[in-house]
Amino acid sequence: MDFSLTSEQLMLRDSASRYLEESYDFAQYHRSLAAEGHCDASVWQQFAEFGWLGIGVPEALGGLGGDAIDAVIVNEALGAALVVEPYLSGALLPARLLLQLRSADLQREWLEALVAGKQQMALAYAERDGRGDPGYCAVTARPAGDGYTLTGSKQCAFNAPNASHLIVSADRAPPAGQVSLFVVPVNAPGLTLESYPVMGGGVAANVRFDEVRVAPECEIEGGSDALEAGIDFAILADSAAALGAMEAVFRKTLDYVRTRKQFGAPLASYQVLQHRLAEMYLELEQSRSLILLAAMRTAAGTADERKLAVSSAKVYVGDASRLISQQAVQLHGGIGVTEELDVGHYFRRLTAYRLRHGDREFHLTRAMRYEPLN
């Protein structure tokens, strides 16, 4: 048992924090939001140069190597800085899924483009009636020639408007219930996007597939297990970003109550607010514990251990992000509900976190499914 970071991990953490502190202030955040697809090209290029876009990609495939713990480290730093660029949805998650692509040639080509920041992709798995369950899949893949044709609709595919390709889950009916993953270019005939910005930053699209052809070498091996593992990784990294945001907005709240006066005394002198701060800190620390657990289980552990840990973390961080974001705004008072202060932007970021990748109920149920009664 060892909760300490390696010296490489410490370096990664410190360099990420230093870069973001120096280069990603509230003005850059606004510039990024104003950029096409909420992604500032120069920032993205910087990520590529740091090698961050290749975390989790083996060095043999041009990546930086590293595991889920490294991903957590970078995402936490990005979350703390309110970064809007689609680091997870556009690069990290697609790259991880591509590691199981059937075609080694395409894999090499695409990973190279992703890691270099020349191309982005996106995962499209959620559906309107699925309510966060990746096992729900009404998009079908019907055999056609040596490949398939995809038909149906996906909802809220994060970063799809910036993507060259979508990674799509589809049911290879008949027989129904066999979910596979396919890589499809966004300009494929029959594929239409309805794009929109999302609350808290970033873009997404609802996607319609109308007999979209997909080649057999564009299938990702592992089917629903690969999808579930990919989404678990996304949840972990997303939760790490939420942890960074919670920590940052908590520190800002601490600073604010120390200086702001009401009734002739600093807010920090009011016991009710003091206890509120203590309660925020409690949830922050407990969130951190579960994220570390989920990271370790993702980096090395059985699938069941990973599922229990990731779903537990998602439930806990969801609750914590609610408390911390709401109380950060409440303790800031009027200024907290304005666009002018960053606190409200952290609030929206943390609110959006709760709406993605399955609701509280889904993950509570899932956590218990993978917890033995011993």
Partner 1 sequence: MNIDFTPDEEAFRAEVREWMRQNVPRSPEAPNFGIPNDYELNRAWERKLADKGWLAYSWPKAYGGPGWTVTQRYIFDAERALAGGPPISPFGVIMLGPVLMKFGSQAQKDRYLPAIRDAKEAWCQGFSEPQAGSDLAALKTRAERRGDRYVVNGQKIWTTHAHWADFIFCLVRTDADVPKQQGISFLMIDMRSPGIEIRPIRTIDGHHHLNEVFFTDVEVPIENLVGQEGQGWTIAKYLLVNERTGIAGVAESKRQLGMLRKVVAADPARASDPAIARRLAELRVQLLALEYTHLRVLDLAARGSPIGLEPSVLKIKGSELQQAISEAELEIGGLECLPWLTDVSGSIRTFKWAAERYNFLRASSIFGGSNEVQKNIMAKLLLAQH
CA 268/CA 169 separation, integer angstroms: 50
275 binds a copy of itself (CB under 8 A): yes
From residue 160, alpha-carbon distances to 15, 38, 116, 137, 197 in Å are 29, 12, 19, 18, 11
Buried b (16+ CB within 10 A) or exposed e, 218-229: bbbebbbebbbb
Which of partner 1, a copy of itself, none does residue 334 bind to, with CB < 5 to 8 Å depending on kind?
partner 1
Q: Considering the complex, what minimum distance in angstroms separates the CB of residue 299 from partner 1?
A: 8
64 binds partner 1 (CB under 8 A): no
Q: Considering the complex, what minimum distance in angstroms separates the CB of residue 277 from a copy of itself?
A: 12
329 binds partner 1 (CB under 8 A): yes
128 binds partner 1 (CB under 8 A): yes
Q: Considering the complex, what minimum distance in angstroms separates the CB of residue 271 from a copy of itself?
A: 4
Q: Which residues contact 355 (CB under 8 A, 6 or more apart)?
A: 199
CA 225/CA 19 separation, integer angstroms: 36
Report the residue from 19, 50, 136, 270 that binds a copy of itself according to the rule CB under 8 A: 270
- How does DSSP assign 210-278, residue by residue? EEEEE-GGGEETTHHHHHHHHHHHHHHHHHHHHHHHHHHHHHHHHHHHHH-EETTEEGGG-HHHHHHHH
By CB under 8 A, the residues from 256 to 295 that bind partner 1 are: 257-258, 261-264, 268, 270-275, 277-279, 281-282, 285-290, 292-293, 295
Q: Considering the complex, what minimum distance in angstroms separates the CB of residue 325 from a copy of itself?
A: 21
Reduce the DSSP state of residue 108 to 3 states and report it: helix
By CB under 8 A, the residues from 191 to 210 that bind partner 1 are: 194, 196-200, 204, 206
Report the residue from 7, 187, 259, 271 that binds a copy of itself according to the rule CB under 8 A: 271
374 binds partner 1 (CB under 8 A): yes
User: 144: which strand partners?
Assistant: 147
CA 65/CA 6 separation, integer angstroms: 14
Place of tokens 């514990």: 289
Report the residue from 155, 164, 178, 224 that binds partner 1 according to the rule CB under 8 A: 155
CA 181/CA 176 separation, integer angstroms: 14
Place of tokens 């090395």: 300
Specify the residue, 50 or 270, whose C-beta has the smaller distance to a copy of itself: 270
Q: Considering the complex, what minimum distance in angstroms separates the CB of residue 18 from a copy of itself?
A: 39
18 binds a copy of itself (CB under 8 A): no
CA 343/CA 323 separation, integer angstroms: 14
Specify the residue, 114 or 242, whose C-beta has the smaller distance to partner 1: 242
Report the residue from 93, 126, 137, 243 that binds partner 1 according to the rule CB under 8 A: 126
Alpha-carbon torsion (182, 186, 188, 194), positive or negative: positive
43 membership: H or E segment, kind and range: helix 41-50
Which of a copy of itself, partner 1, none does residue 347 bind to, with CB < 5 to 8 Å depending on kind?
partner 1
339 binds partner 1 (CB under 8 A): yes
C-beta separation of 31 from 38 below 8 A:
no
Report the residue from 156, 181, 214, 226 that binds partner 1 according to the rule CB under 8 A: 156
CA 67/CA 60 separation, integer angstroms: 15
338 binds partner 1 (CB under 8 A): yes
352 binds partner 1 (CB under 8 A): yes
Q: Considering the complex, what minimum distance in angstroms separates the CB of residue 9 from partner 1?
A: 8
Q: Which stretch binds a copy of itself (CB under 8 A): 40-48, 49-57, 165-173, 265-273?
A: 265-273
CA 281/CA 276 separation, integer angstroms: 9
Q: Considering the complex, what minimum distance in angstroms separates the CB of residue 339 from partner 1?
A: 4
336 binds partner 1 (CB under 8 A): yes
Reduce the DSSP state of residue 206 to 3 states and report it: strand
Q: Which stretch binds a copy of itself (CB under 8 A): 63-71, 257-265, 269-277, 298-306?
A: 269-277
Where along the sequence are the contacts to a copy of itself (CB under 8 A)? Answer: 270-272, 275
